[in-house]
Amino acid sequence: MVLDTVQVKSHSHAHPSFHILGQEIVVDLPIPALVLAFLGAGVAFRYLISFLRLILELTIIPGTNIKSYKSKTGSYALVTGCTSGIGLEFAKQFAGKGYNLILLGRRQTALDDLVKEISGKYKVDCKTVMVDLGDASSRAKGFAQVEKLAQELDVAVLVNNAGVSHEVCVIFNETPHEEIDAIVQTNILGTLHLTRTVLPYLVARSKKGSKSLILNVGSLDGRIPAALLAAYSCTKGGLQTWTKALAWELRGTGVQALMVQPAFVISNMSKIRRASLTVPTAKAWVKSCLSSIGSAGGAQGRAYEMTPYWSHAIMDYAAGFFGYPSEMIGMWVVDYMHKDIRKRWLRKKARESKKSE
């Protein structure tokens, strides 16, 4: 038996209807309720798609091949903060993919040691510039050298990795003014002025048909406001907004700007020495980054951002899943964690003080 009309009991005498394949569909729902139902289905579909995309990007779908930014004649990757941690791994892994290097750091001896190691193992050309990104006079002198190198060499990639944080988790009301200055000078002014120095040459090479990349290393402490690291969190959040504005300006130029978001990684800055599910080695984190260029990972729905390492991606995705409630939970967790870190640091200092008496 074929029904010509689908009806649901109603107290109303007149219902809107429409036809599908010759069948009349009578709607026994208020129009506002029907609209809300469609909107709810759309939101649910959006979350389903973003979750599936997250899983696929973390497991199957590769990012842009990092070698695609390199010319056949030999291009350079410029890496800041390259003598330890994440920056050191960026230098090594770019060299492993055939890039020559321009290495920026504060200590010439450390830069020289790194050049010996990398040039001996990977047979690439390495240039060094000693510069303290947190010092205006040092920046002026160092960036003049950088600009000269950018004029002479084919710089294809800029990795803004250098950054400083607080000595230990501390409330803003007790943060030394000198520490605030150092964080802002290095993380914000150093990054912006270096990018401004190199960017014209990246745009120029892209006009000749070669792609270029600016990779800014952020932090989930900028994605989720981090109590007890307020100044550091401020700078990373600022870089996040700046990266997006810069990326928008660079549309159509062939220069791609991305913000990559790590959580804790084994490094001198994090003061963590043991790897775990949520704390990868710098080597593992950089590998995931360079294999995921252009893939959002945990930064689903946020333009020009990527959170590539799998456990960090899950944390980032979860922090944004329910909007305001998720962010508040994330802030509570970060606050608890940072207070615990401070307590342990104070206990350690007390023990050291007793030993020295």
Of the CA atoms within 13 Å of residue 261, those in its CB half-sphere come to 32
* Mean pLDDT for all residues in the chain: 91
Predicted pLDDT at 149: 98
The candidate with the shortest Cα–Cα distance to 264, out of 304, 311, 232, is: 311
The residue annotated as part of the active site, out of 69, 122, 232, 317, is: 232
Q: Report helix angle 191-207 to 136-152, nearest 10.
A: 10
CATH topology of domain 63-344: Rossmann fold (3.40.50)
Taking residues 51-77, report their average pLDDT: 94
> What is the per-residue pLDDT for 15?
58
User: Bigger pLDDT: 272 or 252?
Assistant: 252
Per cent of the chain over pLDDT 90 is 76
349 is catalytic: no
Determine if residue 103 is left, alpha or beta; phi over 0 gives left, psi from -120 to 50 gives alpha, anything else beta. Answer: beta
Sheet holding 5-6, edge to edge: 5-6, 23-26, 17-20
The one catalytic residue in 70, 92, 211, 236 is 236
How far apart CA 20 and CA 31 sit, in angstroms, is 18
Query: What pLDDT sits at residue 180?
Result: 98
CA distances from 269 to 165, 253, 285 (A): 7, 35, 15
Q: Specify whether 236 is catalytic.
A: yes
Residues 49-71: what's their mean pLDDT? 94
pLDDT at 3 over 60: no
Note the pLDDT of residue 29: 63
**CA separation, residue 134 to residues 8, 180, 189, 236, 259 (Å):** 71, 11, 8, 15, 21
Question: Hunting for tokens 């997250």 — which residue is that?
Answer: 54
Grade residue 14 by pLDDT with cuts at 50, 70 and 90. Answer: low
CB 235 within 8 A of CB 188: yes
The residue-averaged pLDDT of 290-316 equals 96
Q: What is the mean predicted confidence (pLDDT) over 101-113? A: 97
Give the N- to C-terminal CA distance of the chain in Å, as an integer: 96
Q: Assess whether pLDDT exceeds 50 at residue 2.
A: no
pLDDT, residue 11, reads 46
Res 17: pLDDT: 62
pLDDT digits (tens, 9 = 90+) for 128-172: 999 999 999 999 999 999 999 999 999 999 999 999 999 999 999
* pLDDT tens sequence across 187-228: 999 999 999 999 999 999 999 989 999 999 999 999 999 999
